[in-house]
Amino acid sequence: MKYNIQKTFSGQRMSSKRLCSIHKIRELQLPLVEIRDQYDVVREIGEGDYGKVLLAVHRDTDSEVALKMVPKATTPIRDFLVEFHYSYFLSPHNNILDTYDVAFETLEHYVFAQEVAPLGDVWQAIERSGGLEEADLKTVVRQVTSALEFMHSKGLVHRDMRAENMLIFSEDFSRVKLTDFGLTRRTETLVKKRTRSLPTCPPEIWEAVHLEGYNVEIGSDVWQMGMFLFAGLLARFPWEKADITDPRFSEFVQWQKRKITRTPRDFRRFTPRLHRLLRRLMDPKPSKRYEIKEVYKYLGDKWLICRSPRATTTVSRVEAADAARHADHLGEMLTTLSVTTTTRTTTHQWTYDSDSDT
């Protein structure tokens, strides 16, 4: 077999063949291939529940590729074809990983070929730095939002929108691409709840009964964008699961619904504008969540006050002390000038957790 592994498309331009076929899964006859007969395997560059990814060079074209290998033992052929189909038909977008029209099987795996991301994934960058710089996170968010907006315009939901599935192509994060479309489905598709749910999953997934069906909704991606914003700044998640049995999530819901005024501790590190965005992205009711394009409106705003809760407390106390000294000085001046004033309590509060919607 010979492959012409080339990037044929760029940006959001898509051939008429790809565009009109995006919702029709191709029924392919996969050729049986021994990888080492056609590829020089360099090393393994990824591994997970899905299988593994090999960095390899295709001998005939001298093209470096990433071979995603999905185990046959745990993956129905239909599921593999769905993932390959969406990976290929969505990849013309600048911020979606390029997938070549190359798929085959070995004795133990189904395989397809993708471009190589040289700098790893965004979660690795978050862990290394204890959270991204705000400007870097916004650069990533802008690109991923563009990819999701494109998918949603085609009636598709990613359903696994997390930092591990965002790949880095430049050190300044100016080129980031979304990948892993194994769970991607059309809106309103009936799917079964997976055995394992992640902290990034929205509450409607946690509420679903194991192995019972639920309908795919765009709101799932919107919720996961909110979770990514939180994790991108603080390098961890706000709760273990989006279920009322989790006390931190329960507190968030009460605050989100404005039933309590006290902002959950970690959210006090964020500005009122980011509070508003997170409230709208992570509304417990999917129908009330923002459309993903609304994220663009907040990219020019300041998001982070500080990373450390101790720093928040320290700044608050310093500002309060300064205000008290100012009030005392003003009182002394008025007394010296024999100015009579109405006695009243003067307070100054440095408010980080304002819930203003303006």
Neighbour-count burial for 133-142, b at 16+ CB within 10 Å, e otherwise: eeebbbbbbb
- CA 275 from centre of chain: 17
**297 labelled ligand-binding:** no
- Catalytic status, residue 40: no
How many Å apart are CA 104 and CA 102, to the nearest integer?
7
Helices (H), the chain: 16-20, 35-38, 77-90, 122-129, 134-153, 203-207, 219-234, 247-256, 272-281, 309-336
Which residue in 98, 121, 160, 283 is the catalytic one?
A: 160
The pair of structure tokens assigned to 108 is 């133990």
> In which region does residue 120 sit, left (phi positive, over 0), alpha (psi from -120 to 50) or beta (all else)?
left
Q: What is the DSSP code string of 95-144?
A: TB--EEEEEEE-SSEEEEEE---TT-BHHHHHHHHTS--HHHHHHHHHHH
Edge to edge, the sheet with strand 99-105 lists: 39-48, 51-58, 63-71, 109-114, 99-105
Q: What is the DSSP code string of 247-258?
A: HHHHHHHHHHTT
Query: How far is the CA of 242 from the CAs of 86, 165, 205, 215, 247, in angstroms?
Result: 28, 20, 9, 18, 10
Active site residues: 160
Per the annotation, binding residues for ATP are 68
Per the annotation, binding residues are 68
